[in-house]
Structure 1
Amino acid sequence: MAARGGAVNDTVRVAQRLRLDTLDRLSGQGRGWVGPAVDPRALRVGVVHLGIGAFHRAHQAIFTELAAAATGREDWGITGVTQRSASVRDQLMPQDGLYSVLERGADAAPLRVVGSVRDVVFGAGDPAAVVDRIADPAVRLVTLTVTEKGYRRDGAGRLDRSDPEVVADLAGRPPRTVVGQLVRGLQRRLAESAEPITLLSCDNLVGNGDVLRGLVQDIVDALPSSEAGGLADWITTSVRFPSCMVDRIVPATTAEDRADALAVLGLEDRGVVVAEPFSQWVIEDDFAAGRPAWERAGAVLTRDVAAWEAVKLRMLNASHSLLAYLGALRGYDTIAAALTEDRLAAAAESLMVEDVAPTLRVPDGLDLDHYRGQVLTRFANPALRHRTVQVAMDGSQKLPVRLLGTVRDRLAAGAVPRHAALAVAAWMVYVAQGRDVRGRDLPLDDPMAERLGTAGAAAGGDPQRLVDALLHVDEIFGADLRDHQGFRAALVDHVAQLTKG
């Protein structure tokens, strides 16, 4: 790997940028890196991806490229849409869409240059271009990784009609919300070609396909009849919303990662992403107009995603959140470092064994004990440097899908889930305390940050008042959990333990 220090900076300044022409001139393939599995110049765009962050580039974009290579199909190139910042466009477009994926950990594959992304659009800067891409009859698939908060749902899981951005989209401005972009694109598509299309959510939401279908319907129902004419019926017959489950740990890229990619490739790559060696994708096989042969790249195509999804959300994602909040409070910067403390490792394992496992319907062919061990091994990979505060983001959106389903199922069975309650209590202390054991600030990066921060501050450090204040945020907990005395008592006990001394 690259040497550290000023020499790396000097090299970065003079290195050629990764592009198709510079990649063509390299003779180093096979010496630590591999090039695109298909010729990027030959690919035609058939996929629009909303939310082209690091995860998509390390996951679906690779599956799609490998599927194209396995079948010789050249019609599944990707147009990516970056929603909030132009940074990904500015990284990739001067590189002809190319970027590299650097795996970290045991059994890491050689650095891979990926060429399936053929265009990147900045949605906030050019919303009309997003609508144009979705309406293009050559596009047969729209995929999404926009995080839980990108769907702009209310406490009941429907479209939040009070959200100012949703209101503006419904008023007719060029759309900037994800669901607004989809509906305006579908409107245009119906008017111009009426070609069928599939919308595939790849976010961590229970029944993400059904969620997306419902939100699209909410927008359509809110449109004036003069705008919606025939749209609902066409969506019913010509648009599919399959569910899927995705899994790969993709931490934020650092300057060290970029230097290591430069050392391997010999070219500066400003779009490099880092990932663990593991990757999984389980997809409901329900598509309106064909799809890439993702199964040829290792994906599982099934009619039953729900069981796989529940295992991943309740075991992997829930324990990830538990380690993030407890670890951050204890002063650990990374998930792997948090797992070095025996108490935290035991809490994560107990959450999965005692609270989560009894709630699961295990998919055929999955060994749950092996899966649990695999989760902890992956989290303990020190090469990933997955930051606790990064995983702790957006807790108001993540807790309901990662932890509270388990809580409700165990309470319904007559058991108080102590370890799931510990994870929720750690989130409450994280919100209210705002600092770790070393006195360092802990950022509250959450769409409900102002409301949560106010509730936490009003508690004045009293565990009972803190628990009551946050349990009354019905958008997160609902009246059932707010009023359950056994769950409340467990939270108060955990908060008291976490804040004493």
Structure 2
Amino acid sequence: MTILPPFGPVPPAVLVPSYDRPAVRPGIAHLSVGNFHRAHQAVYLDRVLARPGNAQWGILGIGVMDDTHERAKAEAMQAQHGLYTLTECPADAPDTVRVIGAIVDYLHAPDDRAAAIRRLADPAIRIVSLTVTEGGYYIDESGQFQLDHPTIAEDLARPVPHTVFGLATEALRLRRAAGTGPFTILSCDNLPHNGHVARTAFLAWARARDPDLADWMAAHVTFPNTMVDRITPAVGPLDITRLNAGSGVDDRVPVFCEDFIQWVIEDKFCAGRPPLQDAGVLFTGDVTPYEQVKLRMLNASHSMLALPGMLMGYRVVSDIMHNPDVVALLEHYLARDAEPLLQAPPGMELHEYAAQLLRRFSNVAISDQLPRIASDSASKLPVFVRATAEGTLARGTDAARIAFLLACFAEYLRGHDDTGAAYDIHEPHLAPGDMALAADEDPARALEMSVFAGWGLGDHPAFVALFAQTRAALRAGGTRACLRQLVTPGEPGAPGDTKN
């Protein structure tokens, strides 16, 4: 039995780092260390560190948000010296538990943001990666950074900034002054062209603060595009108890995930990079085909599950996958709506990818939570669904599934399911005016919400009518009945093909 401080004796079945962890030094700083980062990017770096000659590629984790949960996580990660257990859960095999050691230092930026900036300015840091969610880049529907957003405007006025944009920019200011050179900024969020989005956001913040610095960043900092994929559920108190019972390790911040993992990166690193290709990462000159397939098939299907699922009273993905109408909805959406508008990457068959998605969603061992997936849909729908909706309307093909999804989103904002059971709504990017539009007596007015700005839905009267008809059907007969009619053409009241 291995003795692993601070966990003490670790059962033989638990895999532990095979490298000399005290010799590892941070070469990557990650901003906003969530479960996904710890189940994905940190896993790849753990594999890299297990190979000789890579001790300079450890991770410095930096918590950015200032709330009770983030403070508790920071305290736990610091107490555990960055170690935590990861339980990988295949659908048809025993779980694998491993201790991940790639995060060798952790700090909570709100405790001392100037200190966080100094750590980012350390020339040993050659990559600054981040996972701040789809809505965390403050990009409007026209692709512009929202300098007038209160969070950004306030941050620009601070001597020591709080946002990821400010922390990284001020660190780059110090590095330029010291002559130590730039670092790569690596977005790991679910966004089309996430590197381009990150470049727009960071350079706009920098330009508003210091135009000369922004010019230097534009010339020297690289922003690779990436595609990331691994289903990683939220971890609640009951999960912690269950995971620790399964591992035999007393871990305050365990994580669990599926056994599937994928990372595709554009090979543009201004200050060097670890040999991630040896750890299973695919480097390519064009990430676009991979990201489009993932966003518009996997992530869009997640929304297609979560929003009607919440209304039907489901709360776990694997449970809703037992509903044959839901499976039919996903099959139809993937085959008829998403796939015809996509170009598959080399070597990928879209129908096989779709079948794999349904198998992944059905994995009972994961039991991903629908409330987590449904949260912040105002940021997710424009990223995951908009292109498919626009393409469907432009082609004049059946838009009934798109109308159903958007109608379910509008109904979801009422905060209760079809049985009347209430649930919490987490939509930080919807204003009170948006919520008023969703609640308007005219069901079609929900399409005027900011989430749909730029989609052009109002230019298709037949779609607007179908959306209103679908909302009325959801309220009159419930989500289950509306879904049954949608996936069973010819039944009374079934939505028909809508040509636009």
TM-score by length of 2: 0.90
For 1:262 and 1:322, the matched residues in 2 are separated by 32
Moved more, 64-73 or 342-351: 64-73
1:196 aligns with 2:182: yes
Could you tell me which residue of structure 2 aligns to residue 103 of structure 1? 88
Counterpart residue identity of residue 465, structure 2: A
Letter of the 2:101 partner, please give it. Answer: G
> In the alignment, what sits opposite 2:29?
48
Residue of structure 1 equivalent to 2:294: 312
Distance 2:82 2:223 in 1: 28
Check whether the contact 2:390–2:455 (CA below 8 A) recurs between aligned residues. Answer: no
The CA distance in 1 between the partners of 2:172 and 2:194, in whole Å, is: 19
Asked whether 1:415 is paired with 2:397, we answer yes
Amino acid at match of 2:25: R
Structure 1 unmatched runs, 5+? 1-17
- State the match for 2:464 in structure 1: 488
For 1:435, what is the secondary structure of its paired residue? coil
Amino acid at match of 2:245: A
Q: What is the match of residue 9 of structure 2?
A: 26
Distance 2:129 2:6 in 1: 30
Q: Report the Cα distance in structure 1 between the residues aligned to 2:465 and 2:18, rounded to whole angstroms.
A: 56
TM-score, normalised relative to structure 1? 0.89
In 1, are the aligned partners of 2:6 and 2:81 still within 8 Å (CA)?
no
Per the TM alignment, residue 479 of structure 1 is displaced from its structure 2 partner at its CA by 6.2
Q: State the AA in 2 paired with 1:384.
A: I
Pairing of 1:296-335 with structure 2 (within 5 A)? 296-335=278-317
Q: Classify the secondary structure of the residue corresponding to 1:70.
A: coil
Partner SS state of residue 453, structure 2: helix
Alignment of 1:198-213 (within 5 A): 198-213=184-199
- Displacement of 1:416: 4.3
1:34-65 superposed Cα distances (whole Å, 9 cap, x missing partner): 00242321111100101101000000001011
Partners of 2:172 and 2:182 within 8 A in 1: no
Deviates more, 1:126-135 or 1:57-66: 126-135
What amino acid sits opposite 2:187 in the alignment?
S
Give the match for residue 149 of structure 2.
163
Structure 2 counterpart of 1:445, one-letter code: H
- Structure 1 stretch 93-102 or stretch 287-296: which is displaced more? 287-296
Q: What residue number does 2:347 align with? A: 365
Q: How does 1:28-427 map to 2 (within 5 A)?
A: 28-29=11-12, 32-84=13-65, 85-106=70-91, 107-223=93-209, 227-229=210-212, 231-427=213-409
Looking at structure 2, the residues matched to 19 and 257 of structure 1 have their Cα atoms a distance apart, in angstroms, of 24
Deviations 1:161-211 (A, max 9, x none): 222221122113321122222222211221123413111101011100000
Distance 1:108 1:175 in 2: 46
Q: 1:258 deviation in Å?
A: 2.3
CA–CA distance in structure 2, aligned partners of residues 418 and 38 of structure 1 = 54
CA distance in 2, matches of 1:478, 1:354: 24
String of CA shifts for 1:379-438, please: whole Å, max 9, x gaps.
11122121111100111100001001111122222324322232112111111x321122
Equivalent residue in structure 1 for 2:444, among 467, 470, 474: 467
Choose 256-265 or 285-294, whichever is displaced more. Answer: 256-265
Distance 2:233 2:188 in 1: 17
Any runs of at least 4 consecutive aligned residues in structure 1 with deviations exceeding 6 A, and if so which?
none
What's the CA shift string for 1:248-290, capped at 9, x where partnerless?
1111113343234433443310010110111111111111111
SS in 1 for 2:474: helix
Three-state SS of the structure 2 residue aligned to 1:179 is: helix
Secondary structure of the 2:224 match is coil
Match of 2:362, as an amino acid?
A
Q: Deviations over 1:63-104 (max 9, x none)?
A: 011012234310011111112222221111101110010122
Give the residue type in structure 1 aligned to 2:444.
V
Shift of 1:19: 9.1
Instruction: In structure 2, list runs of 5 or more residues that go unmatched.
Output: 478-500
Instruction: Give the Å deviation of 1:488.
Output: 1.4
Amino acid at match of 1:188: L
The total of aligned residue pairs comes to 470
CA gap of 1:134–1:416, structure 2 versus 1, over 3 A, is farther
Q: Percent identity?
A: 37
Deviation, structure 1 residue 482? 2.9
Amino acid at match of 2:47: L
Q: Secondary structure at the match of 1:282?
A: strand
Give CA-to-partner distance per residue, 1:434-472, whole Å, 9 cap, x none. Answer: 211221113220113433322223x24xxxx2222x221
2-structure distance, mates of 1:490, 1:380: 31
| Alpha carbons of structure 1 residues 426 and 304: separation in structure 2 relative to 1, 3 Å | same
Moved more, 81-90 or 210-219: 81-90
Distance 1:320 1:176, change over 3 A: same
Alignment CA distance shift 1:103-1:412 (3 Å): same
1:454 pairs, out of 426, 431, 436, with 436
Shift of the 108–371 alpha-carbon distance from structure 1 to 2, 3 Å rule, reads farther
How far residue 125 of structure 1 moved from its aligned partner, in angstroms, is 3.0
8 Å CA contact 1:98–1:117 kept in 2: the answer is yes
- Matching residue's letter, 1:489: A
Instruction: Verify the 8 A CA contact 2:3 2:9 in the aligned structure 1.
Output: no
Determine if contact 2:315/2:370 at 8 Å carries over to the other structure.
Answer: yes
SS in 2 for 1:185: helix
Once residues 460 and 208 of structure 2 are traced to their aligned partners in structure 1, the CA distance between those partners, rounded to angstroms, is 36
What is the alpha-carbon distance in structure 1 between the residues aligned to residue 125 and residue 58 of structure 2? 9
The change in CA–CA distance for 1:440 and 1:65 in structure 2 (over 3 A counts) is same
